[in-house]
Structure 1
Amino acid sequence: MAVARPAETVSLPAARLTGLIAAYGADNLLVRDAATGVVLVSQMLDNDADGRADELLFQTTLTAKEAKRFTVSGASNGAAQRPTSPTTTFSRFVPERIDDYAWENERVAFRTYGPVAQQLKEAGRKDGTLTSGMDCWLKRVPYPVIDKWYAGNVQTPSYYHHDRGEGYDPYHVGDSRGCGGTGVWDNDRLYVSKNFISYKTLATGSIRTVFELTYAPWDANGRVIIEKKRISLDLGSNLSRHEVSFSSAQALPNFAVGITLHDKQGSVRANQQAGWFRYWEPLDDAEIGTGVVLAPGDVTEFRDHRVAQPDQSNLLIFTRSAGTPLVFYAGFGWTKSGQFRTVQDWDAYLARFAQTLASPLEVSWTKTR
């Protein structure tokens, strides 16, 4: 499938680089563009926090059907030779804002909510939050904002709800699925988990941030669900990757991924055959598109589910429950970011993203010595 790849992450398994790692150390490997000899920004990734490298990541831009060559070598001072990136990915637990978990790259930011926020809500406190939905933070600057916005919020409550030129958080989640929350649909009702109960930050860096969220067992119409999410975000992407492991002693009908429809003033569009689904809506003095992309074979149907109850209108994508973990991508585009001007731009982005998933990059190896 011919599709351009403007920010393609290339993953090289560490198992293919054992000789170089043994000789120089995982932090001293260098990726070069073979045509120019330029050393590229790269990131060594430890996927399971066991102290051993699992993948070497770098990014490139490819036109449709283009082939490029790269070399991997080692040097005793390789870490010092590797260029620093002007942009990055980042994620962390945020105890100063009760117990959010937030993540970002140079294009988008997100957050979700932890157990203390749930306890406060259940105790009747106005500062509590009870939801496993995913929140969108709208940014229009390429540098990180999470630390700055949360620090501002400590000094000035609701700091990040006001746009001071970098973006802000006007996106309401409530009891909806937000942008990529999950649940089980049964007997005309959506059953969902509560807030995450534990987290693990696995990586932050110039190419990718990775973390895990664990949820307390939750009930879906008599079925007890065990759920864990592994979420990652790559540089250059508007969509986070969600890898959701879920299980139950009983069969699970209609495991669903959702996007909130807020006040139902926007429009839904879906291409089930290609695997992408979106909502486009007005937001203050601009517009925002949210979307989910996943393998078409994992989708059974979708519903534009609009009801009178607040926060219960969602675009729901129903998936097959066999073959977990389920992998999907969820994110947004905001017209004020300068990345997307129209709904057509957002649709084209999601369509291209789906195409790249359907036609993965082919990587071949040649050992030179």
Structure 2
Amino acid sequence: MKFLKLILLIVLMLPIFSTAQSKKTINILNNSNLDRKEAVIAIQWETILTNYPKIDTTDFVVINPKTKQQIPFQLEHRGLKTIQNLLLQVDVKAKSTLSLSIQKGKPENFVVKTYARFVPERKDDFAWENDRIAFRTYGKAIEKTKEDAYGLDVWVKRTDKMIINERYKLGDYHIDHGNGMDYYHVGFSLGAGNMAPYINDTIRYSGNYHQWKVLDNGPLRSTFQLFYDTWNAGGTKVKATKTISLDAGSQLNRIENVYLFDGDKPLPVVVGIIKRPEAGIISLDEKQGTMSYWEPTHKEHGTTGVGSILTSTVNAMLVNDKQILAKTEVKNNEPIIYYSGAAWDKAGKIANSKQWDSYLETFSQQIAAPLIITIQ
């Protein structure tokens, strides 16, 4: 009888031990005065393995112990076979700590909030989106045609669903069929925050990208690379690789550019936003590295806000007839990181220039005060 009781006790205890990955806790500290909403954070996978050595990538969940709810996550590979980071999307109030745990279990089917793809059926476009906004840039097939454009294009949207495939399939994305549209004009400009060399007070545009690679594709972050062939930038031969990431819940892309060129001197570059002929609202902050442009309202289509945040030293900002520019410089074969993106008033989240300026200012402050992650 005692033996049977012992067996029964072990059986009753099994679920407890089988569901627990570790007694350790993931602590996410927000030491700033700003609430962080829908923030996507990255925890190095090596750190996860150190603290949860028996973790099964197909059989674990991240839980908020207070709410008992699962936290959306993504295993980020950065284009490699091995996992590089565990991405989590969290809300953390100002001056507070969010504590989470990892347990064995089947993860929910998390909503896909980011997506990116090469679009060969539309002259080599590359398009990407999240649950807030969408973008595209132009490829080899459209070069030297009347449709060619040099900068980043914005596709406004008023739905949190992924719409790129639907719009390309419909082939009528210049008309709003209920989820937004493409009314943004790029042309011979840097569009919505592209970067290019700036030699002798002249923007030295590259050709369009000729190669691409998707590194990760949702549900919380999509990252891809665009490769540009060598071009003559005012007497300097330059080659570029752009790595663009878009997180769920963000209006802005993280853009990391690497330029290869001859010589030891830094290469002058600019980040630019196309300026419309009609009056818009421009706000520039060289010290903070922020450019904000609330475009003039486009008839019945509404108003788009475009903005960029530079993390490198800004040498100057200027406005000419065609573009708003922020001047900085980059060293050979060293990454330069900045953020660029857009918002649409009809999406119902950012309705005017003051709200757009506030969003960019808050975003800049969040870059300067990242969430602090520890596992104990």
TM-score, structure 2 normalization? 0.86
Q: Which amino acid aligns with 1:141?
A: T
Q: Which amino acid aligns with 1:106?
A: D
Q: Which amino acid aligns with 1:188?
A: D
Structure 2: how far apart are the matches of 1:28 and 1:19?
17
Aligned to 1:137: 155
1:267 is aligned to 2:276 = no
Offset of residue 305 of structure 1: 2.2
- Specify which of 327, 341, 355 is matched with residue 365 of structure 2: 355
Structure 1: how far apart are the matches of 2:196 and 2:163?
30
Q: Which amino acid aligns with 1:146?
A: I
- Specify which of 315, 323, 328 is matched with residue 319 of structure 1: 328
Offset of residue 294 of structure 1: 2.4
Structure 2: how far apart are the matches of 1:291 and 1:71?
37
Larger Rg: 2
1:41 is aligned to 2:72 = yes
Q: Which amino acid aligns with 1:227?
A: A
Offset of residue 246 of structure 1: 0.9
Q: What SS does the corresponding residue of 1:364 show, helix, strand or coil?
A: strand
More displaced stretch, 96-105 vs 319-328: 319-328
Aligned to 1:12: 43
Q: What SS does the corresponding residue of 2:282 show, helix, strand or coil?
A: strand
Q: Which amino acid aligns with 2:56?
A: G
Aligned to 2:169: 151
Structure 1: how far apart are the matches of 2:60 and 2:224?
24
- Specify which of 121, 125, 128 is matched with residue 103 of structure 1: 128
Aligned to 2:314: 299
Change (3 A) 1:360 1:101: same
Structure 2: how far apart are the matches of 1:364 and 1:46?
21
Change (3 A) 1:218 1:29: farther
Q: What SS does the corresponding residue of 1:349 show, helix, strand or coil?
A: helix
Structure 2: how far apart are the matches of 1:89 and 1:305?
34
Choose between structure 1 and 2 for higher RCO, CA contacts under 8 A separated by at least 6 residues. Answer: 2
Residue pairs, 1:235-250, within 5 angstroms: 235-250=248-263
- Specify which of 270, 290, 293 is matched with residue 306 of structure 2: 290
Q: Which amino acid aligns with 1:39?
A: Q
Aligned to 1:342: 352
Structure 2: how far apart are the matches of 1:253 and 1:322?
6
Change (3 A) 1:355 1:160: same
Aligned to 1:234: 247
Identity value in percent: 31
Offset of residue 253 of structure 1: 4.0
More displaced stretch, 205-214 vs 63-72: 63-72
More displaced stretch, 143-152 vs 257-266: 257-266
Q: Deviations over 1:6-47 (max 9, x none)?
A: 121121100112257763433433211132332211100101
Offset of residue 280 of structure 1: 1.0
Q: What SS does the corresponding residue of 1:196 show, helix, strand or coil?
A: coil
Q: Which amino acid aligns with 2:316?
A: E
Structure 1: how far apart are the matches of 2:110 and 2:54?
26
Q: Deviations over 1:43-64 (max 9, x none)?
A: 00101x2211000011111221
Change (3 A) 1:261 1:100: same
CA contact (8 A) 1:87 1:142 kept: no
Residue pairs, 1:191-270, within 5 angstroms: 191-250=204-263, 251-270=265-284
Structure 1: how far apart are the matches of 2:346 and 2:61?
37
CA contact (8 A) 2:125 2:136 kept: yes
Structure 1: how far apart are the matches of 2:50 and 2:373?
19
Structure 1 portions without partners, runs of 5+:
154-158, 307-312
Offset of residue 359 of structure 1: 0.8
Q: Which amino acid aligns with 2:115?
A: F
Q: Which amino acid aligns with 2:335?
A: P
Q: Deviations over 1:181-206 (max 9, x none)?
A: 11122222111111001000111112
CA contact (8 A) 2:222 2:245 kept: yes
Q: Deviations over 1:194-237 (max 9, x none)?
A: 10010001111121001000001111110011110000100000
Structure 2 portions without partners, runs of 5+:
1-31
